[in-house]
Amino acid sequence: MKQPDADANPPVDGSELIRFDHVSKRFGSNTVLDNLDFSVDAGKHVTLIGPSGSGKTTILRLLMTLLKPDEGTITVAGDQLFPASEKEVREVRKKIGMVFQQFNLFPNMKVLRNITEAPVTVLGLSKDEAEQRARELLELVGLADKCDAYPTQLSGGQQQRVAIARALAMRPQVLLLDEVTSALDPELVAGVLDVLRDIARTTDITMLCVTHEMNFARDISDQVLMFDSGHVIESGPPEKIFGDPEHERTREFLGAVL
């Protein structure tokens, strides 16, 4: 699946797409991110791992403009996220999609309308175009027969796959995955991860993924970032991080979760 209308000038594969410069974020007296620098190249799949509370989810929420940084700058495809006008922020947001831990489907809408709502109202697609796109995406996530169901009639795993389809319907350049299997019953996790593996393999979407599924991280990642206390303490290709971690904290963490 290509991403034809994501941007008039799609980023060249491998060029820098996301950049955090000296980003700090505090909640009260708790510093979640401390002077963080990192960048993600277009088309790459980057996984953030580390103990709870180490700031991984905060990074995704900053990128999605659900939070504002206290210091530093964040740029996406060269456009700065803060400070920026509402109009500029909306432009940057078009490039980013997000899937949440709790799915966050709209319970008052059927599955199909969950997926078509934003393409129609934000991208200006016709209802027919949007529905066709939605049906293709439901096919992709294996739920072609659930168009007319309400979210509450679906299992958690099915809801999450709809949420993935909903995010993809906006044709984002970047897909943010925030612990997307953490709220699922164990037997439903594999179905969701298979869909994501499929997307990682067949599309050129840049993926930024917070997960505790280390096998999944190993499979899809080009780069793994190990977080602790608001810092990236180690980064590298998955073979390196999982096979031969340098940092003591990384070894401890992987020893505890694997």
Partner 1 sequence: MTWDWGAVADFMPRFWDGLLLTLQILALGSLISFALGLVWALLMRAPSRFVRWPVGAVTEFIRNTPLLVQLFFFFYVLPEWGLTFSALTTGIFAIGLHYSTYTMQVYRAGIEAVPAGQWEAAIALNLPVRRTWTAVILPQAIRRVVPALGNYVIAMLKDTPILMTITVLEMLGEARLFAQQDFQFTEPLTVIGVAFILIAYPASLLVRAMERRLVR
| E strand or H helix at 167 | helix 156-168
Nearer to partner 1, 38 or 150 (CB): 150
- Outline where DSSP puts E strands in the chain: 16-27, 30-41, 45-49, 71-76, 79-80, 96-99, 174-178, 206-210, 223-228, 231-236
Helix, coil or strand: residue 212:
coil
Q: How far is the CB of 93 from partner 1 (least distance, A)?
A: 5
Helix residue ranges per DSSP H, 32-147: 56-63, 86-93, 111-121, 127-140
The distance from CA 149 to its chain's CA centroid, rounded to whole angstroms, is 25
Residue selected from 66, 68, 145, 246 as contacting partner 1 according to rule CB under 8 A: 66
Q: How far is the CB of 32 from partner 1 (least distance, A)?
A: 17
Question: Applying CB under 8 A, does 77 fall inside the site for partner 1?
Answer: no
Question: Applying CB under 8 A, does 118 fall inside the site for partner 1?
Answer: yes
Question: Applying CB under 8 A, does 94 fall inside the site for partner 1?
Answer: yes
Residue selected from 39, 121, 182, 215 as contacting partner 1 according to rule CB under 8 A: 121
Question: Applying CB under 8 A, does 209 fall inside the site for partner 1?
Answer: no
Euclidean distance between CA atoms 3 and 20, whole angstroms: 25
> Which residues are paired to 228 by β-bridges?
231
Q: Taking a C-beta distance cutoff of 8 angstroms, is the pair 71, 58 a contact?
A: no
Nearer to partner 1, 146 or 171 (CB): 171
Question: Applying CB under 8 A, does 25 fall inside the site for partner 1?
Answer: no
Question: Applying CB under 8 A, does 170 fall inside the site for partner 1?
Answer: yes
Question: Applying CB under 8 A, does 3 fall inside the site for partner 1?
Answer: no
* Interface contacts to partner 1, rule CB under 8 A: 64-66, 90, 93-94, 96-98, 100, 102, 104-109, 117-118, 121-122, 166-167, 170
